[in-house]
Structures are given as C-alpha cells and as structure tokens.
Amino acid sequence: MTSLNRRRMLGLTAAALTASTLPAPAQLVRGNGRILVGFPAGGPTDTLARRLAESLKGSVADSFVVENRPGAAAKIAIQAMIDSPPDGRTILVSPDAMFTIYPSVYKKLTYNAATDVTPVTPATYAVFALAVGPMVPAEVKDVASFVAWAKANPTRAAFGSPAAGSTPHFLGELLIAAAGIQLRHVPYRGSTPAIQDLLGGHVASTITPIGDYVPHVGSGVLRVIGVSDRERSAFLPNVPTFAEQGFAQVVGRDTFGCFMPKGTAPALAAQIAAAVAEAVKVPATRDTLRAVGQEPFTMSPPDYAAYLDQARKTWEPIVKASGFSLEE
C-alpha cells in the first residue's frame, strides 16, 4: 500500500469512528403534538404557547395544538404533561414559579419539581413592578416615600398580587422584610382584577408583571415606582429598580419555559430548545410577546435545569420566612 493510500485509509477510518460516537439527531414524530397551558386562553402564557405552536410545526411533530387546562394553580396541566410519554409530542409552557416556588409553598405537591420533568428552555422572561394608586397621596412617587406612607397608615397599607403563592406575592414579602413595614397581602385571581382595584382606589398598591401596567401609565391614575429586576425594564425605562432605591433584596423575575416529561432524550430536548430559540428571534413573534410584557430569553436544557435548581434554593428560605403555605 502506498503512503498516499495509507493516509487515505487512516482518514476514512478516523471519520467512521468519529461519526459512530456522535449522538443520532432526533427524528420527526409523525402525528400531532400538543402544548399544554395551565391557564385560560388569552393570557400571556397562552399567547406564548400559540406562537410556539406555529413555530415548532414540523420541527419534531407534524404540527402542535394548544390545549388549555386551567385549574388547581396550573397543576392539572403539569400533571398531564408528567403523565405523557417522553416522545416529543407533549410540551408544557409555564411560568417557572410552578417549579421553583411551589415546592416550598405546597405541603402536598403531587410532583417532584426537580425529578419529574425535563426542563427544555425558557422562551421569555417577565419582571414585576410595584405601583400605587389613588388611595396613596400623589406625592408618593418612589419606594421610600411609599414605605413612609405605609408606616404612617398601617391599616390602609396593602398590596395586591395576581395570586397567593406567586412570585409577586413573595416580592411583597421581601419588601416587607427589607423595609420593616406592615403591608397586608391581598391575593387576586390574576393581574386584571388587581389593577382594576388599584385604579378604583380599593387597594393601595399592587405588584404584578410590569407589562400589565403599561396601558394604564399614561392615565396618571397609577404610578409605577419600583422594578424587581437587576436592571431597568425596557417597558418603563424611567422607573428605577428596587435596588437603585436602597432595597437590593427585592429582586426576582419569572421565566416562561418549556417542559417535557421525565425521560425525554437529551437530543430531543436540545432540538426543541434550538427551535424555540429560533422562534423567539422572529420579529413578529418577538413583537407579540413584548406586547404582553415578555422579553425573549433562552438557554440550553442543562443550563435551564441548573437555573431552576438555583431558583428553588433562593426562594425556599424566603417562603419559609413568610410563614405562608398551602395544603395542596
């Protein structure tokens, strides 16, 4: 064998060995897939799910349909996902609080947030903000003056949130602890009724996703005075963060992520994550998501699993310190 032929043979052998060690790409699953949502149609999570259903068509399954399964604080949809085969046909789209805060809130949770699901990727994130309404004097325009007002008016001082046990609920608890104030928590069923009561002067303040405030800011009836992220929000860039105002402990955001059943092949999860990352780059999709207060945000499945694990560790002592819990 000549030296040239020997080199060619060695090259072909090396290529064959390399190819044999690479993971096989995930295959297209014939038939319809489904995207589960634990909330009614029309909300931010549903909006995200429907955009992803359009974008993921053909990436793993022939098509995807959105199934809304509201109830039990989204746990019905979560259980339906967990009970599904890990074949790529079932994806849950959900805020991450169900996997980061719920384990500390619920005494009896039907699933293990760390082991019963496969985190795939976040698709977006949302930050929260504190706003005050007409119950609070017009001169209250920042967190420090609101704290002073709350101390002077303990019977009227309260904050509304979209739900008991939600991220905004515990951001309020962080503010209570950081400021040393009494601030009664008023849970609502969603942001809309909370903001309606804020505008009507029935509750002093609310903490909800920042995008929920944007349509009302121009009216002058409510004032957004603090943002829960580490940086200012593009939605209301003139509103400082809590940290800028001396309340660095009050920080938190929700990711809206994709989750699949335990046992989903890593290659399949990675394929879905890559498809989601491409989907949220599309200008029309990005604009639709920003209209409901969400910003694109993605990562790999292993990185998302690590992110959620750290978030569980962060929220656990906060929930415990609040003394709040739910049975199931």
159 lies in which domain range?
A: 127-245
253, 207 Cβ separation under 8 angstroms:
no
Given a cut of 50, is residue 25 above it in pLDDT? no
In a domain, 1, yes or no: no
| CA pair distance 123, 134, nearest whole angstrom | 36
Same domain, 223 and 137: yes
Task: Tell me the three state secondary structure of residue 33.
Answer: strand
Same domain, 169 and 84: no
The CATH number assigned to the domain holding 159 equals 3.40.190.10
Same domain, 135 and 119: no
Closest-CA residue to 316 (of 75, 95, 100, 96): 100
Same domain, 38 and 78: yes
**Are β-strands 61-68 and 158-161 bridged in parallel, bridged antiparallel, or unpaired?**
unpaired
Tokens of 105: 């809130």
What is the tens place of the pLDDT at every residue in 66-111?
A: 999 999 999 999 999 999 999 999 999 999 999 999 999 999 999 9
Given a cut of 90, is residue 7 above it in pLDDT? no
Same domain, 114 and 260: yes
What is the tens place of the pLDDT at every residue in 171-202?
A: 999 999 999 999 999 999 999 999 999 999 99
Predicted pLDDT of residue 16: 38
| CA pair distance 240, 247, nearest whole angstrom | 11
Can you give the pTM of this predicted structure?
0.88
Same domain, 232 and 132: yes
What is the tens place of the pLDDT at every residue in 118-133?
A: 999 999 999 999 999 9
